[in-house]
């Protein structure tokens, strides 16, 4: 039971570089999310996808883009990384409104921008 | 604006010493209140969902309760393996299935 799988687990970027965080879930969930976690700030929603083919901004979307590639996969892209994007990123998924709304998280991706 | 405040920020207990963690919230129509456990270097692990005031749920040494303004996570006779950060989050009726998180309570149980 893999649940929610994120790659890479660790990444160091230089300012201005781009990268994509990958996320896949094997629970046949409709909704997927990207959160970031910073000390003293808690978990904050970056983007979410309520269902395949849709994406919406969360609380802190600036500097990020997302792609819901198919029902299983939801990627987060940093086009031009900035030191303020140094954080731990969590992908999550849930079944959706109709069938329950517990959100399950992946193990996290540690990103450092220097 | 939906908001969640957890207290205390950190709590140290001796093994077997029971206590409670608090989660105060304001939300424009509560769909659910969630408790998660997070170990260092790991993602949040789901514990409970509470949907209405008066509801209680239990799992081993943990019991979560809910009122119209706050939730408590009671820990009875804790063990060192209960040491973790406990996160509280609310989900509003409006706003899809997004969760708004508190900053967490870091719990340490000394043997």
Local structure of A85: helix, strand or coil: helix
pLDDT truncated to tens, each residue of chain A (114 aa)?
Answer: 569 999 999 999 999 999 999 999 999 999 999 999 998 888 999 999 988 999 999 999 999 999 999 999 999 999 999 999 999 999 999 987 644 578 999 999 999 999
CA distance A35 to A87: 10
pLDDT, one tens digit per residue, over A30-62 is 999 999 999 888 899 999 998 899 999 999 999
B43, B87, B101 member nearest A107 (Cβ): B43
| Cβ within 8 Å, pair A101-B97 | yes
| Cβ within 8 Å, pair B103-A42 | yes
Pull the structure tokens for residue A20.
Answer: 């994509």
Interface test with B, best of A10, A35, A44, A101 (most B CBs within 10 A): A101
Residues in chain B within 8 Å Cβ distance of A44 = 101
Greater confidence, B31 or B94?
B31
Q: What is the pLDDT of residue A97?
A: 62
Q: For chain B, what percentages of helix, strand and coil (3-state, to nearest 5) are there?
A: 5, 60, 40
CA-wise closest residue to A48 among A9, A7, A101, A107: A101
CA distance B54 to B50: 9
């Amino acid at each position: 039971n893999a649940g929610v799988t994120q790659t890479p687990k660790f990444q160091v970027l230089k300012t201005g570089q781009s990268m994509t965080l990958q996320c896949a879930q094997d629970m046949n969930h409709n909704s997927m999310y990207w959160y970031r976690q910073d000390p003293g700030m808690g978990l904050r929603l970056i983007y979410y996808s309520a269902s395949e083919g849709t994406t919406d901004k969360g609380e802190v979307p600036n500097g990020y883009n997302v792609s819901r590639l198919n029902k299983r996969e939801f990627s987060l892209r940093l086009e031009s990384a900035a030191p303020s994007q140094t954080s731990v990123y969590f992908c999550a998924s849930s079944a959706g409104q109709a069938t329950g709304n517990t959100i399950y998280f992946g193990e996290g991706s540690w990103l450092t921008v220097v | 604006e939906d908001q969640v405040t957890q207290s205390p920020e950190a709590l140290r207990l001796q093994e077997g010493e029971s206590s409670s963690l608090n989660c105060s919230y304001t939300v424009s129509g509560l769909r659910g209140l969630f408790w998660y456990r997070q170990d260092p270097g790991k993602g949040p692990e789901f514990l409970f969902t509470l949907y209405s005031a008066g509801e209680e749920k239990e799992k081993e040494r943990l019991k979560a309760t809910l009122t119209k303004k706050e939730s408590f996570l009671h820990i009875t006779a804790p063990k060192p393996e209960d040491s973790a950060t406990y996160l509280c989050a609310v989900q509003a009726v409006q706003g899809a299935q997004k969760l708004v998180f508190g900053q967490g309570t870091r719990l340490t149980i000394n043997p």
